[in-house]
Structure formats: structure tokens, C-alpha cells
Amino acid sequence: MHHTRLFRALIAAIVSAVAAPLGAGSGAVAATSATTASAAAASATSAYTWQNVAIGGGGFIPDIVFDTGAANIIYARTDIGGVYRWNQAGSSWTPLMDWVGQSNWGLMGAVSVAADPINTGKVWVAAGMYTNSWDPGNGAILSSPDQGTTWTVTSLPFKLGGNMPGRGMGERLAVDPNDDNILYLGAPSGHGLWRSTDGGTTWSQVTAFPNVGNYVQDSTDTTGYLSDDQGVTWVAFDKASGALGSATPTVFAGVADLQNTVYESTNGGVTWTRVAGQPTGFLAHKGEVDPTGAYLYITTSNKGGPYDGSSGDVWKYAVATGSWTRISPVPSSNTSGDYFGYSGLSIDQQHPNTIMVTGYSSWWPDTFIYRSTDGGATWKSAWNFTSYPNRADAYTLDTTSEPWLSFGTTTAEPVESPKLGWMTEGLAIDPFDSNRMFYGTGATLFGTTDLTDWDAGAKFTIAPFVSGLEETAVNALISPPSGAPLVSALADLDGFVHTSLTSVPGAMFGAPLLSTGDSLDYAELNSADMVRTGEIDKSSNPRVNRIAFSTNGGGSWAQGIEPTGVTGGGQAVISANGATALWSPAGVGVYYTANLGRKWTASTGIPAGAVLASDRVDPKEFYGYKAGTFYVSTDGGLTFTATAATGLPSTGTVYIKALPGVSGDVWLTGGAPNGTSGIWHSTNAGASFTRLAGASAAVNLGFGKAALSGGYPALYAIATVGGVQGVFRSDDEGVTWTQINDAQHQWGNIGAAITGDPRTYGRVYVGTNGRGIVYGNPT
């Protein structure tokens, strides 16, 4: 999907991460941190078992990398959720980067993966989230000797951008298939091409490489996100030009430069020249040399992707003669059919004339996947128009394992639901099994195991291959005392009612269908009553509103109207008995409703943009907070009064949580990472607060079932206790804390959502920014 989560998650990342840059400098760069090790002990620790709430995928998969040295070694890279390794025995994926924590969260941005074909235990990852100020840390090369079980981190003197424009191009990181001591890295932001000759331990810039790139998506963007130079984008070796044990002589590199996009070295990277006769006006998204060394294939687009691209071509370059041939399934000269760019590219290693490409930026009516078995002379398309608007598919799409991929939509030809995909930047044929192919989309990873049936004229089957791969960004979680154990609000996917934690949900929320879920709340005394908010493009969905109510635990929803001036979903809360609700949307102030959003009245005495909470016992009592001031309403949210509470954080992200079962018991958590941050507790409805001495900084807090019957609910906090940042539980109102995660379970940037389970003691749900929902139980 579109990464609306990018901008919301960005704010949480900046606020919650107390991160230091991972290093700076120039010239040769050495490893600056060793293989991951456990953090220092907090006041106490408790063993927990962690796993994901099953959703399956839920985000962009830029590329899939097969190790050409041994069968079934496969890696998938995500843009904000790290890297996964394929588990052949279980047909599932194993996350490899959950050790990344709050202090180095940017490393969850997986820029590129290089799998060693000589020593197949080795794998490298180029990591970093943003190249602008949003990510405070520099990029790094992660090296593993054991297929990602352990890692060594080598800091770079510049940033990398796994979630930047152009992230579908690649692979930027490549290992020499004849000498695995040699690796290349194509860098963004004008940093050029870098090389390691000691297996990734040290790196230096290739000063002879003549072009650092000049393509930017939007030069007027002052944030640096769209205006960054996308740089050197891929490296491809001609393995057949060399011999095992020596540097491969012929190497190609792609550059984000519309006039000069392919370069070649014929002496092992000593010198580089622009390849003569190459196409101009396009960026080479991918480049791959066939295993015989006869041809370099490239896929091109007029834009960097992964969203944009309105024209493109596929080319083959004869390495021996230096001649170029355009082999596009739909060439850019076809003015009626040329409206998308090409990116995904794979050569069947067992059949070098068999190649596949994708039309990644065709959003309507569907993406394009093409296959040629004669080196691009002729092509088959995965779907074709018959008599418009009807189409014929060469495949069967089986999404029974991930039924929500229909996105709750009913479509008419030529649009189908579920779709074949969008943002299909990465596609890979298994080098050991010509029948297996994987490709990434904006929402999942699809694949097939009967690909060659297509060549025989039969339909082949495509299905999701995402078991264990969880990439959602979580904005809110609730665990009501009855009904489904968990309800989620997610970036890009709206949200789910999770009737099972281990089974994939059958569908997302019903209408209104929102592009992103922002907030959730339930009525404590009648938990079937719920409210949710989210985002939607009103220009194309003018009748869809950003707030909805449910009276049956999320089984169905009815949208409310919007007050004039609303520009975003913001936050909504519902009273303890479900009779009234408050909404703090973007664009306007706080509003009150007593009829499920059919009519709204402006609340008074509370500023626009305030954070809200409802008392969990008294249906007339609501709480609000903004810029260091706490507000209380005792008339159902019609009017608010500022309390005299002092010492609260004046900046940063803050969450208010009211305790179930006790009126006036309120917790406030958060603040600025470089200012006042912590946990505050009030037992008098916010008239005054006491800061907990044990937590020196905090991000968010939630409640769960008490350890003892009738006791105070368990507290779960993402906080810093005893100098250790982690996830903690307290069974004594915050007097003492026990750390319940460990060094291998940190999940990057977390904090937008956390809640305990009111029905199961010890169980906690944690929302991540790109690793889905994780939940833990005491071991």
C-alpha cells in the first residue's frame, strides 16, 4: 500500500527514539560494534515467550534474494521491518532483525541484501531508514556468518534509506560471486560507489567511479525526503567473465541519472566507463547478467518508484559486442500502452533465455508480470484484455490463507479483487527450481510453485507466501474484557478484529473502509461499543468519513459525519457506558457526540489537538492533555477545565490511560526524549500527579489482568528502568518493574501502542513500526 504509515510512524520514531548516530568519517570504515549481545540487566527480569499476532505481510516487500550457491536459502527485505529468511521445512519466514532497538531503530530499514554464493552461511544487509534528518543514525552494513542468526554491525559515514524514494531499485549491495571478500555498495545522497575487500569489515569509496547520481523525485521538498539524490542503485557481476578465487573482471552498476544510468568495469572495478549506446531518459531500476555472461538485462522507468513511473523499457546488452536491443513487452514508443515503468527482473539460472519482468507502476487495472522464454523476442503477460473491459488471466490467485487481501472491496472488470499486485518492484525465480517464483507487492509477498505450467499453456497458481512475515505498522491496540481478545488500528490497512491471535483474520474492518487506522477505544462498561478513526483520501472518496462506531464489538461499523474543517482522523474516545464520545481530529478542535456521530457539538475549555481519554467508570468524566496542561470534563465532554497539575511534559508525544474499575485513577506517559519524559500517576482525576521515580524515561503504558484476584491491574510500559530501555511489567502500581523483553526481542521503533490483556495475567500486546503486533506470555 501507499506508506501513509511512513509519515505517522516517522513522528513516533523521532519522539520515542533516543538514538545516537552510528558513526561518521571518511575513507576506510571499520566495524564499530560487535555481534549483538544482551543489554545490561534492569532491576529484575522475567522470561517471556514472544510471537506475532497473525496477519501476514501488510507492507511493501521491495525485493526477494535467492542465494545462488545452495537451494532454499532465500531472503526477503522489507522497507521498515528488517529482513527475513525463508524456512523451507515450515514454508514460513523467520525475522532476522528483532535485536534492533530504540537506540538504533533506523537499522530496521532494509536497503539491500547480499547472499554469499560461495560460503552460503554468509549474508550481508545494508541498513538505514532515512537519509534525511528523520533518522538520527548513519547507515550500516550488517554481516552474518550464520544466515542471520547473529550479526556484526559496521557503521558507515553516511545515511542509507530503506524507506526512501527509489527503495525498490537494486540490489545496491552485491557480493562478488567469484571472490566473496569483495562487496560493492551503491550509496545515495551523492556518496557514490563503495567497496570492501575484506568481507565487509572495512569499506572505502571507489574514487574512480565517475557518477554519484543526480535524480531526485522532487527538488522543491524542503524535508529532504523527496529531494535526496537516489544515487548508485545496483551492482551486477558477470560471473562468467572470471574464475573462482579471483575478482570478477566485468561488473556493471546502475546510477540514478536519466542520461547516464549504466556503467561498466572490465578490470575488477579499477576503472569504470559509461556503457556506450545505452538508453537515455530512463533510470535502470534493476540490472542482471545471465549466467553465461552473454547479456546484461535492465528494466527501466522514467521515475525512481516505488509509487511513480509512467513510462519504461526493457533492454538487453550484448556484453561481447556492445550492442543494445530493446525487448520491452510494451515499448515506450507505444503511446497507447505505455503508461508504466518496469522494475522486477529475474533470469532463470537453469534456462538463461527465460526472463521475467514487472510493470511495477501500473496501478490500474492491475500490475503487469511478463515472461519470455526466448530472451525477450516474445512475451506472455499474466493477464490480457479480451473484449474490454473483460480480461483473461494466465493464473489462478488463491488467497484463502490471507482472505483480507480483497481489502473488503467489490470490483468490476477489468479490476479484480484481490489484485495481482501493485508496487511490484521485486521478482525472483528460484535458481534451483524453475517452477518457484516469488514477487513482492505493496501489501504482501506472492509466489508460485508451478510457474512452468504457464509455458505449457495451462494456468499457474499464485498464492501468498507470508507465514511469519509480519510488516504492519501499528497505531493503536485495545484488548476489551469481553469479545475478541484484540482489536488493532494499522497504517495502510485500517485494522482488524482479532478473534484469534494465531489465525489470520478473515477481513479488515467493514465499511467505512479507511486507508489507515489512527485510533481505537471501547466503552469499559459495555465493551461491545467501540469507536475508531482513520485516514482517507477525500478527493477520491468524498462520501467516506474518518470516524466510525460499532455496537457489536467491531463486527460492523457505522460512520459518523464530520464537523466542517476536519483534515485527519486524529483520536476518538468513548465514555464508560458508550453513551457519548469525543473526537479530537486534525484540522479542528475537540467535539462531542451523544448519538454515534450523527451530530457533533464543539467542546469548550480544551485546545485543538488535545490528547483524550475517558474515565473507565464514570461515563460523565473525560480527560485531556496538551503542552503540559491537564484538562478534565465532568459533563460528558461538553466543557473542560484545566487542573492545577504541574510538572508534566510540555513537549513530545504523550498518552493518557484511565484505569479500569477505579474512577479518577489516571496514568500519563511519554514526553520528549531530550526533555521531560516519564510516567505520571494521578488518583484524583488529574488534580495532581506524582512522577514514578523508577522510570527515567517512558514512551507508552497499558493495563492488564492483575497478578492477584481483586488486585491492582498489571502495568506494562515501554520505558527506561535502571538505565535499560525495554518492555516492563509492574505488579505493584509501578513501585518495582520487571523487564519482560530481552536483547533479541526489541523490534526497532515501538511505542505507539501497548496494552495488557484483561483476561490473561502476564499477556501483553506491543505494536511495532513495521514488525506487526507482537504479544508475549510468561514462559
What distance lies between CA 719 and its chain's CA centroid?
23
* Predicted local distance difference test score (pLDDT) of residue 45: 84
Q: Give 6's DSSP letter.
A: H
* pLDDT at residue 43, rounded to an integer: 52
Q: How many residues make up the chain in this entry? A: 779
Backbone region of residue 264 per phi and psi (left: phi > 0; alpha: psi in -120 to 50; beta: other values): beta
Which pLDDT band, with edges at 50, 70 and 90, does 21 fall under?
A: very low
Mean pLDDT of all residues belonging to the chain: 94
Select from 278, 169, 277, 163 the least CA-distant residue to 226: 163
Residue 494 appears among annotated catalytic residues: no
Distance of alpha carbon 719 from alpha carbon 722, whole angstroms: 10
For 96-149, the pLDDT digits (tens) are 999 999 999 999 999 999 999 999 999 999 999 999 999 999 999 999 999 999
Cis bond before residue 403 (omega within 30° of 0): no
Q: Is the pLDDT of residue 1 over 60?
A: no
Provide mean pLDDT across the span 184-209: 98
- Residue 9, pLDDT above cutoff 90: no
pLDDT at 675: 78
* Global pTM exceeds 0.75: yes
C-alpha angle 719/126/490, rounded to 5°? 45
Residue at 530: amino acid letter: M
The confidence score (pLDDT) of residue 46 equals: 85
3-state helix, strand, coil in the chain (%, to 5): 5, 35, 60
- CB crowding 560-581: b at 16 or more within 10 Å, else e: bebbeebebbbbbbbbbbbbbb
Hey, is 451 helix, strand or coil? helix
List the helix and strand counts (H, then E) for the chain. 1, 58
Per-residue pLDDT, 152: 98
What pLDDT is stored for residue 30 in this prediction? 47
Strands (E), 594-675: 601-602, 611-614, 622-626, 629-633, 641-642, 653-658, 666-671
The C-alpha torsion from 479 through 485 and 489 to 493, rounded to 10°, is 170
C-alpha cell recorded at residue 194: 563503495
Share of the chain above pLDDT 70, in %: 94
Region 224-241: what's the mean pLDDT? 98
Inter-residue contact 382 to 369 (CB < 8 Å):
yes
Check pLDDT > 60 for residue 11. no
| Helix H or strand E encompassing 4 | helix 4-16
| Minimum mean pLDDT range among 22-36, 187-201, 432-446, 751-765 | 22-36
Q: What is the pLDDT of residue 16?
A: 39
pLDDT at 8 over 80: no
Active-site choice (63, 67, 79, 229): 79
Q: Using alpha carbons only, give the angle 529, 535, 541 rounded to the nearest 5 degrees.
A: 105
Averaged pLDDT, 715-737: 97
pLDDT average, residue stretch 47-72? 98
Q: Quick check: 29 pLDDT over 90?
A: no
Is residue 35's pLDDT more than 60? no
The predicted structure's pLDDT at residue 37: 29
Share of the chain above pLDDT 90, in %: 93
Q: What is the rounded distance in angstroms from the CA atom of residue 648 to the CA atom of residue 685?
A: 15
* φ/ψ (deg, to 5) at 403: -65, -20
Could you tell me whether strands 395-397 and 460-464 are parallel, antiparallel, or unpaired per DSSP bridges? Answer: parallel
Dihedral sign computed on CA atoms, order 331, 335, 337, 341 = positive
pLDDT, one tens digit per residue, over 308-324 is 999 999 999 999 999 99
Q: Is 63 a catalytic residue?
A: no
Average of pLDDT values for 70-75?
Answer: 98
Q: Does the pLDDT value for residue 94 go beyond 60?
A: yes
Query: Do residues 515 and 557 make contact, with C-beta atoms less than 8 angstroms apart?
Result: no
What's the mean pLDDT in 647-671?
A: 97
Bridge partners of residue 714, in order along the sequence: 704
pLDDT at 676: 87
| Span 628-641, average pLDDT | 98
Q: Band of the pLDDT at 44, cuts 50, 70, 90? A: confident
How confident is the model over 314-366, as pLDDT tens digits? Answer: 999 999 999 999 999 999 999 899 999 999 999 999 999 999 999 999 999 99
* pLDDT exceeds 90 at position 644: yes
SS3 sequence, 614-636? ECCCCCCCEEEEECCEEEEECCC
pLDDT the model gives residue 36: 38
> What would the mean pLDDT of 186-206 be, rounded to a whole number?
98
From the candidates 67, 430, 492, 615, give the one annotated as an active-site residue: 492
pLDDT-wise least confident of 30-34, 268-272, 388-392: 30-34
Q: How confident is the model at residue 6 (pLDDT cuts 50, 70, 90)?
A: low
Tell me the C-alpha distance between 679 and 682, whole Å. Answer: 10
